[in-house]
Structure 1
Amino acid sequence: MAGPLRATRERCSKPWRTRSSSGYPQCLPWIAERAYGEEMARMDPRTDIREFLSSRRARIAPEQAGLPAYGGNRRVKGLRREEVALLAGVSVDYYVRMERGSLAGVSDGVLDALASALQLDEAERDHLFHLARRAPGGPRRRHSPAVTVRSTLQQVLDAISDAPAWIGNGRYDVLAMNQLARALYSPMPADPRRPANTARFIYLNSETAKDFFVDYDQIAAAVAAKLRMEAGRDPHDEKLIALVGELSTGSELFRQRWASQDVRLHRSGRKRVHHPIVGRLDLDVESLELPADPGLYLTVYTAPAGTPTADNLALLASWAATHHPTSCR
């Protein structure tokens, strides 16, 4: 077996890239990888609208929508277009035009009715409105999230001495951290590119990330869904397009998550990690958008006093004070 594997690796030398899955090398020409990543990252408004609406329609059975399921052999998964039109109170032709990508000029009332018919959650409803605002013929807004933070924000981070805290944007760029956050994310591999990016860590360094995050699958799904949400807000962000292309090229899991059309808001929650220095940390996470810096988020990790995680955070702070971790700087 060694001979064929060696030969395969030799055939995968430049301009080919080696992929390793379950121990077997795989090859894809560099130019093909780049083209594939660009194709995955392309954010065409009509395509995004069509795929989002059809994917939300497909997940709802007629009985979930309070409709009779006539016939035992339905040719479509979920609701038919005419059933969505009925639930939304619009004509079938009008809904078909919307699902084909024509949302320009659609009123907020119709969008609300469509969101209710498709049983969209808050994040999905917001995403639908973002798609409508950038539909062909609609207004264009070019905005790129910041890649630097004001010095006073770094002072705020440094003043938070007993909790990991960092500032990032919707692309998951890590723009500023306090000392305890650098210690928390010290397992993140060094990447010469700056700013560091946690989405790259999760998807392109998956073995290390799986060791670090207890709930890796949930974390990975949330990251892809939030990137999809960000793409809906700002499809002209060239750095986001490049990031999605890079992740699509390098990770089959990301390609699957991205294709699901799922979206999520940046919200509070819980994150469980295995830290190599202090062990298990079950952290409460608060993520707050900064009104004075649109597109930036302040994320703070805490734990209730007297819990093992609070004790381990104190140990991590002591370790950070002596070792001065530089990860993600």
Structure 2
Amino acid sequence: MAPPNPLGEFLRARRARLQPQDIGLPPTIGRRRTAGLRREELAAVAGLSVDYYIRLEQGRERNPGPAVIVSLAQTLRLDADERRHLHRLADHAAGRQAERPPPRPAVSAATLGMLEHLRPWPALILARTGDILACNPEGLALYAGLDEWPESRRSIIRYIFTHPAARSVLAPWQWFAATSVANLRHWTGTDPDAPDLRRIHDELAAVSADFRRLWARHDVRPRRTSHKTFHHPGIGDITLTHQTLHVDDSSTRLSLYQPEPAYADQVALLAHTLETHLSE
């Protein structure tokens, strides 16, 4: 079996998305046998020899210089997130690897206290894998049915792809799924061999065709402020502003949901729905 080659996989995926005219080449006349750019076309525009680029894509060249990475990023029309991802993959290929965080970070007492003070706004502390390290009652109740799982299994990305309620609760489910996979891809770029990231990837890839399809796209996006809508069975439809704040400059993050004034009363009912469910 060939060794893992995340840098080559990313280059191939991005090359397949472009056509000659996208990078300033004349369009090909007739049917093309290659989906997207040919290696020869990409190498020519990036200023690389074809042989060198083929070795890079195949993983036989593992130490591309900064100028090569910048040229490839420009030629492949990568955005800022994708450029950072490409640089991290190149560092990994060359053996320049950052120190790994602990697989399941501890949550400080101060952070736990903050979750209580944020109520009734839903708030969760998440590991980079999406595992829930801590949350307030509203944060747990927001993802309806998540409380049915034991604490060790509670994970946002696992909920999205494997919980039977997810497709009816999350609106639209496709957006939640795509952004969660792009975020996992972002973290995987920082450490492609990390056991915690590999574990959740392998678990979801084994059970979800949707996860496998989205993973194969190589989309890369860290979490940013967004609006999320939930079709919650206990409080009805609700749209919240979602913010991600990293704790102590680590990969552990606070996932905070702020309601618009029109939804404030519904948010206040979230904890009650959880209490009612647990008492049944």
| Fold shared, TM-score > 0.5 on shorter chain | yes
2: CA distance, partners of 1:276 / 1:215: 15
- The equivalences for 1:1-329 within 5 A come to 44-46=3-5, 48-102=6-60, 104-135=62-93, 137-144=94-101, 145-192=103-150, 194=152, 196-205=154-163, 207-290=164-247, 292-305=248-261, 307=262, 309-316=263-270, 319=272, 323=275
- TM-score of the pair, normalised by structure 2: 0.89
Aligned partner of residue 286 in structure 1, secondary structure: strand
Q: Which amino acid aligns with 1:227?
A: L
Amino acid of the structure 1 residue aligned with 2:244: S
How large is the RMSD of aligned CA atoms in angstroms?
Answer: 2.4
**1:112 counterpart letter in structure 2:** V
- CA deviation profile, 1:11-34 (whole Å, cap 9, x unmatched): xxxxxxxxxxxxxxxxxxxxxxxx
Contact in 2 for aligned 1:288/1:298 (Cα 8 Å): yes
CA positional deviation for 1:263: 2.0
Instruction: State the AA in 1 paired with 2:188.
Output: A
Q: How many residues align?
A: 277
Look up the equivalent residue of 2:227 and give its one-letter code: R
Verify the 8 A CA contact 1:214 1:272 in the aligned structure 2: yes
Deviation (angstroms), 1:250: 1.4
Gaps of 5+ in 1: 1-38
Amino acid at match of 2:7: I
Contact conserved, 1:147 with 1:195, CA < 8 A, in 2?
no
In the aligned structure 2, how far is the partner of 1:316 from the partner of 1:141?
40
CA distance in structure 2 between the aligned counterparts of 1:240 and 1:190, rounded to whole angstroms: 24
1:36 aligned partner: none
User: Structure 2 regions of 5+ residues with no counterpart?
Assistant: none
TM-superposed deviation, 1:184: 1.6
Query: Which whole-Å deviations, capped at 9, do the CAs of 1:36-55 have from their partners, x for residues lacking one?
Result: xxx9xx9x542x22221111
- Matched residues in 2 for 1:140 and 1:286: separation? 29
CA deviations on 1:187-207 (whole Å, 9 max, x unpaired) are: 2252235162112111122x3
Q: Is the 8 A contact 1:146 1:296 kept in 2?
A: no
Residues 228 and 87 from structure 1, CA distance in 2 versus in 1: closer, same or farther, beyond 3 angstroms? same
User: Following TM superposition, by how much is the alpha carbon of 1:233 offset from its aligned partner in structure 2, in angstroms?
Assistant: 1.2
Q: Could you tell me how far 1:240 is from its partner in structure 2?
A: 2.1
SS at match of 2:42: helix
- Kept after mapping to 1: 8 A contact 2:105/2:252: no
Quick one: which amino acid aligns to residue 55 of structure 1? A
Structure 2 CA distance for aligned equivalents of residues 115 and 222 of structure 1: 22
Pick closer, same or farther for the CA change 1:165–1:151 going to 2, 3 Å. same
Task: Could you list the structure 1 runs, at least 4 aligned residues long, displaced by more than 4 angstroms after superposition.
Answer: none
SS in 2 for 1:194: helix
Shift of residue 282, structure 1, vs aligned partner: 0.8
Quick check: 2:140–2:147 contact (8 Å CA) kept in 1?
Answer: no
